[in-house]
Amino acid sequence: VCTWQELLPCKSLPETLLFQLLGLSIATLSTVTHYGLRFTLISNVSLDSNSYRVIHHRAFYFGICLSMTLILAALLSSAATVRESQSLTAMGFFCFALAFCGLIPAACWRYTHSTEVEDSMMDVYDFVYEEVRRNTSSFRRHELTAIHEAFLCCGKHSPFGDTTNVEHKTCPSGQVHSEGQ
């Protein structure tokens, strides 16, 4: 007959596996987001004065650090459970606390800067669009075409009505009718 203390290590292993999977999924999401076509396209086109590139890199590194902290905490917790070590348990708890304390500033930043990413992406698009509109032989035309293809959009509305020439040159053939979307 097994006692409750002998079964306790086996009960906490599924929770540590869950935290390992959570850390792995955050690492995967951070990597896919960082190296995804849409995000890298805007990051490569953005100017140094635009904040998108900085946000893009910081979000990636924050996600990777958070995922590694969660994975380390889960590994320490599972090792502490198997070895019944109080020092490993304390280190695992410290890693969980560190991950939690890292999420608080991230949540506050997300709340206080809710539209900063979208605004900086739109600033990049507006800059590239205006460069193409002013100079049709610009190398930015290729970038604008790539943005239109990646985001499945086509141009923008202008109160001056002089944007149709840009859309016909940079929009994919099936999307010229959906300009401004």
DSSP state of 142: H
* 23 and 95, same domain (yes or no): yes
Which pLDDT value is given to residue 4?
47
Please, what is the Cα angle at 143 between 142 and 144, to 5 degrees? 90
Which pLDDT value is given to residue 27?
92
* 85 and 27, same domain (yes or no): yes
In three-state secondary structure terms, 85 is coil
Which tops the pLDDT comparison, 100 or 169?
Answer: 100
* Helix 37-45 × helix 52-83 angle, to 10°: 140
Alpha carbons 29 and 66: distance in angstroms, whole number: 12
85 located within any domain: yes
* 160 and 95, same domain (yes or no): no
Mean pLDDT of 2-25: 69
* 101 and 159, same domain (yes or no): no
* 29 and 92, same domain (yes or no): yes
Alpha carbons 89 and 81: distance in angstroms, whole number: 8
Helix (H) or strand (E) holding 84: none
Mean pLDDT of 28-39: 90
177 located within any domain: no
pLDDT averaged over the chain? Answer: 80
Give per-residue pLDDT as tens, 121-137. Answer: 888 888 888 888 888 66
* 70 and 156, same domain (yes or no): no
**Can you count the helices (H) and strands (E) in the chain?**
7, 0
Question: Which H, E and C letters describe 26-85, residue by residue?
Answer: HHHHHHHHHHCHHHHHHHHHCCCCCCHHHHHHHHHHHHHHHHHHHHHHHHHHHHHHHHCC
* 15 and 78, same domain (yes or no): yes
Domain end residue (candidates: 60, 90, 110)? 110
pLDDT class of 163 with cuts at 50, 70, 90: low
pLDDT class of 7 with cuts at 50, 70, 90: very low
Answer yes or no: are the C-beta atoms of 170 and 148 closer than 8 Å: yes
* 146 and 65, same domain (yes or no): no
Amino acid, single-letter form, for residue 65:
C
Q: What is the CA radius of gyration of the chain?
A: 24
Which pLDDT value is given to residue 175?
56
Mean pLDDT of 73-94: 84
**pTM of the full predicted structure?**
0.73
pLDDT of 155 strictly over 50? yes
Alpha carbons 141 and 94: distance in angstroms, whole number: 51
119 located within any domain: no
pLDDT of 64 strictly over 90? yes
118 located within any domain: no
Answer yes or no: are the C-beta atoms of 123 and 44 closer than 8 Å: no
Helix (H) or strand (E) holding 175: none
Domain end residue (candidates: 110, 126, 156)? 110
What domain range is 160 assigned to? 139-168
Mean pLDDT of 45-60: 83
* 154 and 104, same domain (yes or no): no
The tokens of 95 are what? Answer: 């890693």
